Amino acid sequence: MHNLTIDPDRLWRSIMETAAIGGTPKGGINRLALTDHDRQVRDWLKSACEDLGCTVTVDEVGNMFAVRPGRLDVPPIAVGSHLDTQPTGGKFDGILGVLAGLELLRTLDEAGYETNAPLMLVNWTNEEGSRFSPAMLGSGVHAGVFDRAYADSRTDRQGVTFGEALDEIGYRGPAKVGSTAFGAMFELHIEQGPILEAEEKAIGVVTGVQGMRWYEIALTGREAHTGSTPMSLRRDALVGAARIIGAVEAIARAHPPGVGTVGLVEVGPNSRNVIPGHVFLTVDFRHPDDAALDVMEKALFATVEEAGRASGLEHALRQVWNSPAVAFDPALVDAVRRAADGLGLSWREIVSGAGHDAAYVARIAPTTMVFVPCAGGLSHNEAEATSYEECRAGAQVLLAAVLDHDRRCYGTA
């Protein structure tokens, strides 16, 4: 193993510098996909990569690829993640993977080290799915899960399309979607859960990602005066929604280790003395077993039918995203395990509970992930925290695993 060491101070400075782009008063980041803040951080990354002599290309949905040449003419080994955040996001979700990848390139450049394969740093577009649904849209288009027209047609809650927003920030590139090939990909990420911290493990050796399905439900009843409408004659859309919300909790608990969440609810007309006539809500189901998700989905459809019937509501339910469970490449998983062992870091195998771009990339190239702990397992929150030492350890494992894979696949550099 080569004794190349990342500069943790420089990595930490990069994290804090970019955190100011869209930074919130509570110390988090509000950097939704394809906003001006997203443009600013993309410009920052592009400049940093070009300073290292990398060639930066952008594809038709805004995915960014920065390539550092290698000794051989072979597909590059990719690292990276995403720079967009939730409306009340933290400093590390996705961001650590991109900036640790940048630190990897800087470390190699400083040492004058030439890898066998080229290396590629990737920033995927709209991973979060917060502004434009579904999540992992850029990597999904790259992997052929969605086409460009589908991506361009996605709208935010204000009616702005993905395509319009992409053009507005100037990041629709000339590279055809899917045309940028790579031989493997490693994605470093915070766990976004409590397991590593609870077990005092420094590194998560990620073996796969659980399956995920998203749904949107619209309920229509009848608006009426709260004081003069008898209970027996009401068609209260919010009551129907409450039945569904309770059922989502019960369905998830009945299928461990599955989880279920209603994360967005919009009520109309949202007036204190008007019976709600319209409700829009979302459901998020996750499970490592796709067959279990099938059962959970069937139960959800039955629940919506029953809630509509019981409250006299019109109802519409549609699945808006289906990401099957993923098993990562065993050889790359082994590279991460060897890297952690070689650095004397404690580790455990883990299946990701959250969705990541790596789940789609795994369909077209060998892929794996590296996890580091986050305080209290908290993520998608301005209080999200990962320590200096945890970032250092994760970036060092990333570097070691990439070099291990490069040597084993392409010979001694």
**47 CB contacts (<8 Å, ≥6 apart)?**
none
**What whole-number distance in Å separates Cα of residue 30 and Cα of residue 41?**
12
Q: What are the residues facing 220 on neighbouring strands? A: 278, 314
287 annotated ligand binder = no
Q: Is 315 assigned a ligand-binding role in the annotation?
A: no
Query: By the 8 A CB rule, do 43 and 152 touch?
Result: no
Amino acid at 160: V
* Residue 82 annotated as lining a ligand binding site: yes
Residue 152 annotated as part of some ligand binding site:
no
Residue 128, annotated ligand binder? yes
Question: What's the gap between Cα 22 and its chain centre?
Answer: 18
Distance CA 105, CA 7 (A): 11
SS3 state at 400: helix
The C-alpha torsion from 127 through 128 and 129 to 134, rounded to 10°, is 50
Identify whether the C-beta of residue 161 lies closer than 8 Å to the C-beta of residue 48. no
- Cα angle for residues 229, 231, 237 (degrees, 5° grid): 90
Cite the annotated binding site for Zn(2+) by residue number.
82, 93, 128, 189, 380
Cite the annotated binding site by residue number.
82, 93, 128, 189, 380
